[in-house]
Structure 1
């Protein structure tokens, strides 16, 4: 029967509406306003707070700058031993507990010990974490963040010879960067310039591909590549860009004996419009029609070799 409170399971609710005895006015305080919403720069969980705090400390990162990792990890026995052979600046070498030793491990230990590099015996689980799950084969090495030069540092380089700089426009593969640094070192170049954004950086992979040249050839980072090229022109450099549809072919490059900046674009997009307009000449590498383009690293090597050859003829 409806309303029969004596049925099994029925419970009478004897509570009353309103504040309970001893509430201390908590319900009333809960209805009070909390004041105006703080500004974004005053809220610790808002991204604007970090910028504001950085400005107060004077440590704001420049607009458009790349966030630099504190370290890079090289993983794998072949990679580590090659990095040690080419004098990549390793700060610490990690070796797994109870590793099955082979020639690569023994050579790595010998080179590291002779170079005074700290060797840390580490559980494999920790190596997995340090290398972000890469195949490390029980061996890894830590490389510090690269210290970039300023583009103007390459104008007064201590490397002998007529100034020769390579600038990269849209090169995003660090292995290409490492190969270009290696070619610059091989053919008497004075340095490499990369943009801060949308560009490969001097990672452990680039270090390894450079085969030790990165220890001798400075890599500069430009906040604005076009502005850096304009500054080089003001300093007396000629700027040439590589492109399949160039106005001049590489063997006939009259500017080879002058202070020179060679700009290399990406394989897919080539030179960007503003960079192209900044160049004094657009130069092409003569090739068979069967091949549409060269890898950026190979194009740099061919161009630098030809410039070195032309300069040698003028001595």
Structure 2
């Protein structure tokens, strides 16, 4: 009968005894979580990704002002594979966890392993989204270390130590990294001793510049000048002739004396040409005759023509 059971701990009454409480957790769960944070602070929101991208750009600008170039990220399967094929210097290849690999992923990993100096790192998708600012990385991200720029004086010193007349290209206002890479490639082909770029408002040695240089950036130094005008004045004091390319130059390239001697060729942007101060610093401004009627050439082509002419005189 009920109430007569001898089993231990058996309830013999319908009355509930004391129970363990919630410690106030249920009451806290009913409390509000406060106002909704702004979109710039909500993870995954488009405005949050845009704010993160702005912060990275500001960090890069601050690092550049301090004289340091931040690491660069190459994002996406095609871009990463092309960079590795072009032997762009890289420190780390990030591969997304549980990635559905294709031929591009397989070849990228193989190239990184064969090189021996690229670290392989597996990372969750959320981490790759974070470091790329939400870009479509397709599971592959390549980290390119900061480029080690030379000093403008290093280029002339290396030439004189080798018993050669310096042949240097300076770029004024060229902002396309592919043009910079093309100039580096031309300098390597025609015996140039290096390329000088300004520190501000100019292209730097990014992965795109490395790819366009077709590997020649590994043996042709690029120097960065805090002030291009002062760097050119220093070259003049060292005995180099500074020749600037301009559509309205006072002499044609074929008539320029001194191409066989110590020379700096200054190339401006395709749109604006040489800046006023740089143009005034040049010993001579020359033009490339173009019978076909084209108004201007891009920096890579123009530098290649002048470097070929200088190399011809030096032979």
Cα distance in structure 2, aligned partners of 1:178 and 1:133: 28
> Is the 8 Å Cα contact of residues 161 and 188 (structure 1) preserved in structure 2?
no
Distance change in 2, residues 1:78/1:303 (3 Å): farther
Following superposition, the deviation at residue 261 of structure 1 comes to 0.4
> Is the 8 Å Cα contact of residues 244 and 279 (structure 2) preserved in structure 1?
yes
Bigger CA drift: 261-270 or 299-308? 299-308
Cα distance in structure 1, aligned partners of 2:311 and 2:134: 43
Distance change in 2, residues 1:210/1:128 (3 Å): farther
Aligned to 1:212: 215
Cα distance in structure 2, aligned partners of 1:258 and 1:104: 48
1:129 aligns with 2:130: yes
Cα distance in structure 1, aligned partners of 2:66 and 2:197: 12
Following superposition, the deviation at residue 126 of structure 1 comes to 2.2
Aligned to 1:4: none
Cα distance in structure 2, aligned partners of 1:259 and 1:126: 51
Moved over 6 A (4+): none
Distance change in 2, residues 1:309/1:222 (3 Å): same
> Is the 8 Å Cα contact of residues 178 and 209 (structure 1) preserved in structure 2?
yes
Cα distance in structure 2, aligned partners of 1:240 and 1:145: 31
Aligned to 1:307: 310
Distance change in 2, residues 1:251/1:79 (3 Å): farther
Cα distance in structure 2, aligned partners of 1:251 and 1:66: 42
Following superposition, the deviation at residue 67 of structure 1 comes to 5.9
3-state SS of 2:259 partner: helix
> Is the 8 Å Cα contact of residues 243 and 282 (structure 1) preserved in structure 2?
yes
3-state SS of 1:220 partner: strand
Q: How does 1:19-58 map to 2 (within 5 A)?
A: none
1:76 aligns with 2:76: yes
Following superposition, the deviation at residue 273 of structure 1 comes to 1.3
Cα distance in structure 1, aligned partners of 2:205 and 2:146: 8
Cα distance in structure 2, aligned partners of 1:274 and 1:156: 25
Aligned to 2:140: 139
Distance change in 2, residues 1:296/1:133 (3 Å): farther
1:251 corresponds, among 245, 249, 254, to 254
Distance change in 2, residues 1:287/1:110 (3 Å): same
3-state SS of 2:158 partner: coil
Cα distance in structure 1, aligned partners of 2:191 and 2:135: 36
Distance change in 2, residues 1:79/1:156 (3 Å): same
For this pair of structures, how many residues does the alignment match? 251
Distance change in 2, residues 1:252/1:136 (3 Å): farther
